[in-house]
């Protein structure tokens, strides 16, 4: 018997989630990909305590992603030199949702979280996003 079987599998690490996110960004249609190219993608196991406190979230598994930056709709020509826009993906929360769902690939879930956060970069609210993408558990 050759090859690795399920008993040899490991959970995807931070780099693997980052690679899935980069692949999803590369697959965006050109007008969106060009704008999203300037957003940094960061991956951590969980959001830090300060972020969770700021958002009023007690359970770190409730937050799969976060956009940090100034939405394009809130910028003016006078804005420059600020902090870079970032999308944070939280590996453990994403893996937890993936396991709980059982009906979607990990790549599709990472892409979904990434696109949701890119929509915030474009200035969409959670309600705006939910109106076109109702992807709840």
pLDDT for res 1: 45
Q: What are phi and psi of 66, to 5 degrees?
A: -155, 135
**Which range, of 34-48, 60-74, 83-97, averages the lowest pLDDT?**
60-74
User: In whole angstroms, what is the distance from residue 71 CA to residue 118 CA?
Assistant: 9
What domains lie within the chain, and their CATH numbers?
11-132 (3.30.2010.20)
What tokens does 28 get? 């965006």
Query: In this predicted model, what pLDDT tens digit does every residue of 74-97 receive, in sequence order?
Result: 665 565 656 688 999 999 999 999
Neighbouring-strand partners of residue 42: 88
Give the predicted TM-score (pTM) of the model: 0.83
């Amino acid at each position: 018997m050759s090859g690795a079987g399920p008993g040899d599998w490991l959970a995807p690490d931070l780099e693997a989630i980052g690679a899935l996110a980069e692949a999803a960004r590369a697959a965006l249609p050109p007008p969106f990909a060009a704008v999203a190219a300037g957003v940094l993608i960061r991956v951590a196991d969980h959001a830090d305590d300060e972020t969770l406190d700021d958002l009023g979230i007690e359970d770190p598994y409730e937050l799969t992603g976060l956009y940090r930056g100034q939405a394009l709709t809130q910028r003016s020509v006078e804005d420059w030199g600020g902090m870079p826009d970032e999308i944070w993906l939280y590996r453990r929360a994403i893996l937890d949702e993936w396991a709980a769902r059982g009906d979607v690939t990990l790549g599709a879930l990472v892409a979904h979280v990434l696109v949701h956060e890119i929509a915030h970069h474009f200035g969409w609210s959670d309600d705006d996003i939910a109106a076109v993408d109702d992807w709840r558990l």
